[in-house]
Amino acid sequence: MSFLANLSPFLLSVLRIMSGLLLLQHGTTKILGFPQSQMSGVDVTSMPGIAGVLELVGGVLLVIGLFTRPVAFILSGMLAVAYWMVHAPQGFYPLLNGGELAALYCFVMLYLAAAGGGAISLDRAMGK
């Protein structure tokens, strides 16, 4: 699979963009009520509301690739807190406690914090 090695910077951008879009929908449902879900309509001053604001703003910044490293680092921390506060008390196994997504997002964000935004990002365009 060495033919993919040349695509690494672009695939990093695809990972960043898709992760940002998927995280963004958590923010839009919590803060904007779209799409409507059981998470919609949270109080912005509550823990889920603060997470929603971070997901909304951070998701947009990740999609466009602006301030990728610090945003991803902050989001990684938020997701670690979400896992340990919400999911871990419900049981040891992420499959059973519903924490798989939070754990996976946490480590993807940590990777993006280390790797940056990839070839297609505003960070790269601005020379950061």
Whether this prediction's pTM lies above 0.75 is answered by yes
| pLDDT tens-digit map of 49-68 | 999 999 999 999 999 999 99
- Whether residue 35 has a cis bond before it, omega within 30° of 0: yes
Answer yes or no: is 3 within a domain: no
At residue 128, does pLDDT exceed 80?
A: no
Total structural domains within the chain: 1
What are 95-109's pLDDT values in tens digits?
Answer: 999 999 999 999 999
In a domain, 14, yes or no: yes
Q: Between the CA of residue 95 and those of 10, 19, 100, 103, 105, what are the distances in Å?
A: 31, 20, 6, 11, 14
- pLDDT (tens digit per residue) in 21-45: 999 999 999 999 999 999 898 999 9
Does a structural domain hold residue 74?
Answer: yes
2 found inside a domain: no
| Domain-located, residue 62 | yes
Residue 102 in any domain: the answer is: yes
95 lies in some domain = yes
* Domain that includes residue 105, residue range: 8-125
The overall average pLDDT reported for the chain is 96
